Structure 1
């Protein structure tokens, strides 16, 4: 994987001194403004630092959902990441949030994980599940405005962004439809036939079922597409897009594209692989989706990276590159590959 140390993001460190800071930080940690979502932050170390982030959409209060089982899995994941402290925030109505937060707190207690804060946020107010003092946590909730927080200002000043919500991310990656989809379907069939002929033009070597000519053609096509994207030129011909997708089916060709991604050129890669992902037929989405995730990760846009990985998971839950990137994102690895975070949240040793 290409690395550019000079342009790699420098972790931003903030101290979460209370509920308002947590609520201001969460959108920049997860990359979007949560809605109807449970967010759990796992911290570890003597001075607890953010290490793992877990998000899941809330199930309706009347849904047949086993909150206890889900909470046990979450606690096990926190233990796997050696997190000894957790912060939980549920965004949504009390009927949906409370039962899930209660389950998380109970599972964490059984696992020996300290839940230092557990909040519900809705309509510009928050309520704490760990504080029952009417002086600081009145029954009507506490007003908060994350947009005026120093935490949010620090995040924005350091280039972090938060998408409006998860739906905006899904819309950003929605597959093309209509006539364009029909053209891509026909172009993909032709590209598959072309690929079969190219694979059959020379004997494969070892476990490489594609053969050297396929790899050479794939590497050339990838480099040409990346160079064009750097000139703000994206492939519009369905045949070119479909051929690129078929070539990326070869792991060595895909990895050729991967090695070209670095933070400086990541915006061009992000535009290119989003374009290919939206046009590709389902069987050919895992490679461009994973490449999009890597390029978004290099730009510290973890929410877009996760959304791209969701597209991959829809068609191939076992795609290995996507699994590797997902693991890195969940544990907060920065682009340079060491355990860090784009936003290093530190919880005080003493309660404020």
Structure 2
């Protein structure tokens, strides 16, 4: 089931709201402040900040307020996780900012040790000073979220671990497969380059995986790479759509072909919000030779964002930028996450005849509000 096909989850109480947060984020938060932005009856986006964080609560509040005002958010719910000394300053700063902008606050809760407190409700019968116990397993939210295809991992580290590179025997097998794929790629390029060229001079020998100069000079090489790459991408799509997976040699072959940007763009242009695409690129990111991870990690970030897996998207784009800080597709997705843009914007882009390929540029990546550098994650 795709994210867009998932049935809505109804929240009827504070306990339901608390139970929904792990499924909205993709993991169970701790020592965090979580903000749920609502437009109409739907969640627009969810943001999470570490507590205590390296960013002043007032700065986070101002940044959040600009996003809420841009998207004309109707209502906000805030849930803080941890002791009062950590949660209260952040909650108060957020509430003050929301009040100044006339944005309605549904509730402001603090959760700690199986109890919750409301900063809004002052009725001791409803919300006693010692807090109110809750059991998320007694609500229907968890079952409904699982049915809708949502997963709540134990914490953010577990999300990162879910796409961590394989090691041991699995890594050795992938290293050997990548060596074979490199040789196969060299043979493909040399074969296309040595074909009759109607009098054109032969190209100089190119380094392994460095086909850029040859591609620009020889259309036959570009065509050979594009044909092989499109076939590898389409075969991978068919395999995971059917619930099966690629062999090590197939992952390695796909990964060396994705270095060629037209092949990467073919995969990107055919990305959807189907969960099997998240499974595909998660599997490739785990198994790929780490220096080749920028392309598949960027594709994972994009498909995860489209399907509502915000934490996974953030971690995947971090993985891509760790390999290549200037990788244009990763930088673009990083900006999307930074601005809390909704996946619905893709519908407008897909209405255009072509989706432009992102270009490298020399701009310095600005400090991200969402992510580990500032302690905030986002989910849509």
Cα separation, 1, equivalents of 2:302 and 2:343: 12
Equivalent residues of 1:297, 1:335 under 8 A apart: no
Cα separation, 2, equivalents of 1:119 and 1:20: 10
Q: Which runs of 5+ in 1 are unaligned?
A: 1-5, 339-344, 346-352
Relative to structure 1, the CA distance from residue 165 to residue 326 in structure 2 (aligned partners, 3 Å threshold; closer, same or farther) is farther
Equivalent residues of 1:222, 1:257 under 8 A apart: yes
- The range that moved more, 97-106 or 145-154, is 145-154
Q: Which of residues 289, 294, 309 in structure 1 aligns to 2:297?
A: 289
Relative to structure 1, the CA distance from residue 261 to residue 325 in structure 2 (aligned partners, 3 Å threshold; closer, same or farther) is farther
Relative to structure 1, the CA distance from residue 9 to residue 185 in structure 2 (aligned partners, 3 Å threshold; closer, same or farther) is same
SS of corresponding position for 1:173? coil
Relative to structure 1, the CA distance from residue 295 to residue 148 in structure 2 (aligned partners, 3 Å threshold; closer, same or farther) is same
Q: Which of residues 30, 34, 39 in structure 2 aligns to 1:39?
A: 34
Equivalent residues of 2:3, 2:148 under 8 A apart: no
Matches within 5 A, 1:87-236: 87-178=77-168, 181=171, 204=215, 211-229=222-240, 230=242, 232-236=244-248
Cα separation, 1, equivalents of 2:68 and 2:326: 22
Q: Which runs of 5+ in 2 are unaligned?
A: 194-213, 349-379
Query: Between Structure 1 and Structure 2, how many residues are aligned?
Result: 324
Relative to structure 1, the CA distance from residue 37 to residue 178 in structure 2 (aligned partners, 3 Å threshold; closer, same or farther) is same
CA RMSD after TM alignment: 3.8
What residue number does 1:348 align with? none
- The range that moved more, 96-105 or 309-318, is 309-318
What residue number does 1:249 align with? 259
Relative to structure 1, the CA distance from residue 241 to residue 23 in structure 2 (aligned partners, 3 Å threshold; closer, same or farther) is same
Cα separation, 2, equivalents of 1:70 and 1:34: 18
SS of corresponding position for 1:116? strand
What residue number does 1:66 align with? 56
Equivalent residues of 2:298, 2:333 under 8 A apart: no
Cα separation, 2, equivalents of 1:280 and 1:7: 25
What residue number does 1:350 align with? none
Residue 188 of structure 1 deviates from its aligned partner by 5.5
Cα separation, 2, equivalents of 1:211 and 1:279: 26
Equivalent residues of 1:58, 1:96 under 8 A apart: yes
TM-score by length of 2: 0.70
Q: Deviations over 1:275-317 (max 9, x none)?
A: 3212334442232123334555666555444443342344345
Relative to structure 1, the CA distance from residue 12 to residue 224 in structure 2 (aligned partners, 3 Å threshold; closer, same or farther) is closer
Relative to structure 1, the CA distance from residue 215 to residue 51 in structure 2 (aligned partners, 3 Å threshold; closer, same or farther) is same
Residue 121 of structure 1 deviates from its aligned partner by 0.8
Equivalent residues of 1:53, 1:331 under 8 A apart: no
Q: Which of residues 20, 25, 28 in structure 2 aligns to 1:30?
A: 25
Cα separation, 1, equivalents of 2:178 and 2:148: 42
TM-score by length of 1: 0.74
Q: Which has the larger radius of gyration?
A: 2
Q: Does 1:273 pair with 2:281? A: yes
Residue 17 of structure 1 deviates from its aligned partner by 4.2
Equivalent residues of 2:165, 2:290 under 8 A apart: no
Q: Deviations over 1:120-155 (max 9, x none)?
A: 112211111222332222121111122221333433
Q: Does 1:56 pair with 2:49? A: yes
Q: Deviations over 1:302-341 (max 9, x none)?
A: 5444443342344345645444487379445369848xxx
